[in-house]
């Protein structure tokens, strides 16, 4: 695993999905993007002086792009003062310091040999799964993405989803609270362990579950999985510690 680096980057693009949800691409030399799928970065909007080593206030975000590229991508939702600053200040060309990689929420290819993988995501919690899903070696597994959003316009990474949906190893289970996306086979309502268990059928007990999204959702799903007999070692949680 690569040691964390402090990297001066620049904003390449900013895309809006409405209601304060954004995707930001930062240009980064490829030699620094040696992270593992599921890891996260620290982003600071303030000046950083490498000679002092003092890291200013920052926020953490899952890395939503593949390793070994000349950029990293994050998706964020405006929820507090810091993300409000990001919404106002992040524009193409703006220099930004990043520090990465961090985290143990690593989706290893070795798990594909032990049974199905269920990647459960609420909203922008889908971000850490993309570096894994874009890995060509994953095509020999059995991977289910359970992805819940509030409205159709909140759907992230649609082109990639449309491409993945044609693969026989990938299974998309999309839940939309308000509205529908018929061409992606969405269902109406919130994600629930009950529906996930129905979709997985007999494979439910052998599945490794990854949980990423709002803390309330993660805690509820973790409890519900335990109640249904899923062992703690089969439950992997995206905790930014």
Is residue 35 predicted with pLDDT exceeding 90? yes
Q: Which of 103, 88, 90, 36 is nearest to 66 (CA)?
A: 36
Query: Domain spans of the chain?
Result: 5-102, 109-237
- 143 pLDDT above the threshold of 90: yes
- Would you tell me how many other CB atoms lie within 10 Å of the CB of residue 91? 10
Q: Quote the pLDDT of residue 240.
A: 63
C-alpha–C-alpha distance, residues 83 and 129, integer Å: 22
Mean pLDDT in residue range 45-52 = 93
pLDDT reported for residue 113: 78
What class does CATH assign to 5-102? mainly beta
Q: Which pLDDT score is estimated for 110?
A: 78
Q: For residue 105, how many other CB atoms are within 10 A of its CB? A: 21
* Distance separating alpha carbons of residues 164 and 196, to the nearest angstrom: 19
At 137, the pLDDT band (50, 70, 90 cuts) reads low
Mean of per-residue pLDDT scores for the chain: 92
Q: What is the rounded average pLDDT of the residues 189-218?
A: 94
pLDDT band at 189 (very low <50, low <70, confident <90, very high): very high
Q: Averaged over 3-23, what is the pLDDT? A: 94
Query: Of residues 140 and 228, which shows the higher confidence score?
Result: 228
- CATH of segment(s) 109-237: 3.40.50.80
Average pLDDT over residues 85-100: 98
| Integer Cα distance of 157 and 145 in angstroms | 13
pTM as predicted: 0.90
Is omega for the bond preceding 139 within 30 degrees of 0, making it cis? no
Find the length of the chain: 241
pLDDT exceeds cutoff 80 at 1: no
8 A C-beta contact, residue 21 and residue 77: yes
Picking from 58, 10, 77, 7, the residue whose alpha carbon sits closest to that of residue 35 is 7
Q: Give the rounded percent of residues in the chain with a pLDDT score beyond 90.
A: 80
């Amino acid at each position: 695993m690569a040691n964390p680096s402090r990297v001066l980057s620049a904003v390449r693009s900013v895309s809006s999905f409405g209601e304060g949800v954004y995707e930001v691409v930062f240009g980064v030399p490829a030699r620094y993007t040696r992270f593992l799928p599921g890891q996260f970065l620290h982003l600071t909007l303030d000046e950083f002086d490498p000679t002092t080593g003092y890291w200013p206030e920052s926020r953490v975000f899952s890395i939503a792009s593949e390793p070994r590229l000349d950029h990293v991508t994050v998706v964020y939702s405006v929820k507090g003062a810091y993300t409000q600053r990001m919404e106002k200040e992040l524009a193409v060309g703006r220099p930004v310091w990043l520090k990465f990689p961090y985290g143990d929420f690593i989706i290893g290819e070795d798990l594909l040999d032990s049974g199905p993988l269920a990647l459960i995501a609420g909203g922008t919690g889908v971000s850490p799964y993309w570096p894994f899903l874009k890995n060509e070696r994953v095509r020999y597994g059995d991977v289910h993405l359970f992805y819940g959003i509030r409205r159709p316009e909140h759907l992230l990474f649609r082109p990639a989803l449309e491409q993945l949906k044609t693969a026989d190893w990938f299974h998309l289970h999309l839940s939309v609270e308000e509205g529908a996306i018929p061409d992606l086979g969405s269902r109406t309502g919130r994600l629930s362990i009950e529906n996930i268990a129905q979709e997985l059928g007999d494979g439910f007990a052998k599945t490794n579950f990854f949980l990423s999204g709002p803390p309330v959702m993660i805690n509820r799903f973790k409890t519900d999985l335990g109640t249904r007999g899923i062992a703690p070692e089969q439950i992997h949680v995206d905790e930014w510690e």
